[in-house]
Structure 1
Amino acid sequence: MIYLDNSATTHPFSGVLDTFRQTSERYFANPSSIHPLGGEAERLLEASRERVSSILGGQEGRVIFTSGGTESNNLAIKGTAFMHMSRGKHLITTRVEHPSVLETFESLESFGFEITYVDVDEYGHVAPADVHASIREDTILVSIMSVNNEIGSIQPLKEIGDILRSYPKIYFHVDHVQGQGKIDLSLQEAGVDLCSVSGHKIHGLKGTGVLYKKDNVRLFPLNHGGGQEQGIRAGTENLPGIVAFTKALRMIDEEKLRKKSELMELHDHLYDSLEELNGVVVNSPKHGAFHIINFSMPGYKPEAIIHALAKREVYISTKSACSSKEPDRSAVLEACRAKEEIATSALRISLSYETTKEELDTFLEILKEVRDSLVQISEV
């Protein structure tokens, strides 16, 4: 099996699975219970919180444990909007954000919020000057992802953060789900107020994640109840998942330190090889995130390519599930002003630190065979 769909989810580290099981067995008590077992669980919870905050570099804030990137993004955006709507109802984002961000903003429009969707260039990059030009007196939030989940473009977060330092009442949220463990991001240097991270994208477990929050940031809770997670996210904490997430965060940073240059070489090898293939158009920027490469094969249905590869136990992905009634268009590529034939035939390869050159070379050979066989079928 050759698995090249790591931006969708990753295979959990064995150490993460062991940590989850051991924590489930030993620290099963509710951290809110006042008896000694509860106190022991609470101490482990807070130790994990401090460890995660330290790894993320959040010197001026703490983390809220969530169920993953979608909840973290919703909490950051809706929590800001509803808490601060009395002083402004204008929000800024880009047209290439993850659906958990875009659809959250769209939902807020029904509550009277105004959203500015900043345009991007052909490779999905937003210009800091365009963000600056979009700021109004009633702006309360700017939300921009670190790494695009479809094409791997890296946004100029520090430059945007430098602009926002002149607007202390505007919160800066970053969806860092695809960037954690892959690119360097200093929350302090970029002036990030809120940052979303997901566990299953870093070889952790599904249903785990965090929202980093600066101490001065006030959010409206989406869940009310027992007052857990600083009163912002009520509900009994998933302690085994939290400890496993903490383990995954530490392990992915260790992998990055040891294997980053190797993965960059694999990215460049794959990128150059795809550019040389007949019938292939590479959509990702050459110097984007080194684990994502998006390409199109005009004239072929993406789902046909994916199913043909899967029969050979090679797994990549596309933007979404196929539809028999309408073409599968990539909203990200459309925002990059790609031609329709490019936007409707896009495929995504996403690597991990476990990917090997042999796997990529095998994938390239199989892709050629699939391309030729599908052409032959179409000509029959």
Structure 2
Amino acid sequence: FHVDIVQAIGKVPIALDNVDLFSLTGHKIHGLPGSGLLIKKRQVLLKAHNIGGGQENNYRSGTNTLALSAAIAKALRLVTAQQKDNYRHVTTLRDRLWRYLNDNPHLYKINSFFKDNPYIVNFSLLTRKASVVVEALSNRQIMVSSVSSCHSKKEKFSAVIYAMYHDETLAQNTIRVSFCKENTLEEVDELIKGLDEIIEGLKQ
């Protein structure tokens, strides 16, 4: 079977022994947009969608862009080599935000599980609309999202959060914070300060 490992590669250990194919995209690991990989076991047979010159062992005719291939290879080497250090750093960032959210249960409901991947924290606002808070944070140059970027054009609320609680209000007012190795504790503190000031300001 096939596994999309784009949110896990370079972040958490991945067991691929029983996986037939896996794929990832370059821009999620600090590579260039427009690059990606599909890796398969030798015994897995694929049928080409495009026929032509027979490049890529007849799987994908056409010449790959060298810059994209080199960039994703370099990015993959870096994220896997730095995985443990990056994980520890991002866990520190997640813990700082988690403590703040946990200390304010009248304002936030944490939807993530503490043992989950620390690179993403999802929570619901209990007293304010997420769309308003996300826009206000954006005006402060703090970028978070209220829905999955993959479905941002068609989702009115988080289907996952709705499935968890069967509560449209919680599902409509989720905020998703994504961390990476380049984020800092100071930026987390700015996010916390922004949430405090924005939510307090909306009361007035």
* TM norm. shorter chain > 0.5: yes
Q: CA 1:338 to 1:365, structure 2 compared with 1: closer, same or farther past 3 Å?
A: farther
Partner of 2:55: 228
Task: Percent identity, please.
Answer: 37
2:9 maps to 1:187: no
2:59 maps to 1:199: no
Counterpart CA distance in 2 for 1:234 and 1:261 is 42
Partner of 2:3: 174
Task: Say if 2:11 and 2:86, in contact at 8 Å, map to a contact too.
Answer: no
Any idea what the Cα deviations from partners look like across 1:197-244, whole Å, max 9, x if unmatched? 111001111101101100011122223222222212222211110011
Q: 1:296 aligns with which of 105, 121, 124?
A: 124
Q: Shift of the alpha carbon at 1:335?
A: 2.9
Q: Shift of the alpha carbon at 1:269?
A: 2.1
2:52 maps to 1:245: no
SS of residue in 2 equivalent to 1:296: strand
Partner of 2:99: 272
Q: 1:315 aligns with which of 143, 150, 158?
A: 143
Greater relative contact order (Cα < 8 A, sep 6+): 1
Partner of 1:33: none
Partner of 1:254: 81
Counterpart CA distance in 1 for 2:128 and 2:116 is 25
SS of residue in 1 equivalent to 2:82: helix
Any idea what the Cα deviations from partners look like across 1:166-191, whole Å, max 9, x if unmatched? xxxxxx21110100110101312xx1
Listed as ranges, the gaps of 5+ residues in structure 1 are 1-171
Q: Shift of the alpha carbon at 1:337?
A: 3.8
Any idea what the Cα deviations from partners look like across 1:68-126, whole Å, max 9, x if unmatched? xxxxxxxxxxxxxxxxxxxxxxxxxxxxxxxxxxxxxxxxxxxxxxxxxxxxxxxxxxx
Counterpart CA distance in 2 for 1:240 and 1:197 is 17
Counterpart CA distance in 2 for 1:350 and 1:212 is 26
SS of residue in 1 equivalent to 2:196: helix
Residue identity opposite 2:81 in structure 1: E
Task: Say if 1:303 and 1:322, in contact at 8 Å, map to a contact too.
Answer: no
State the structure with more CA Rg.
Answer: 1
Residue identity opposite 2:121 in structure 1: I
Q: Shift of the alpha carbon at 1:338?
A: 4.0
Kindly report which structure 2 residues correspond to 1:100-119, keeping only aligned pairs within 5 A, or say none.
Answer: none
Any idea what the Cα deviations from partners look like across 1:147-176, whole Å, max 9, x if unmatched? xxxxxxxxxxxxxxxxxxxxxxxxx21110
Listed as ranges, the gaps of 5+ residues in structure 2 are none
SS of residue in 2 equivalent to 1:245: helix
What TM-score, normalized by structure 1, do the two folds share? 0.50
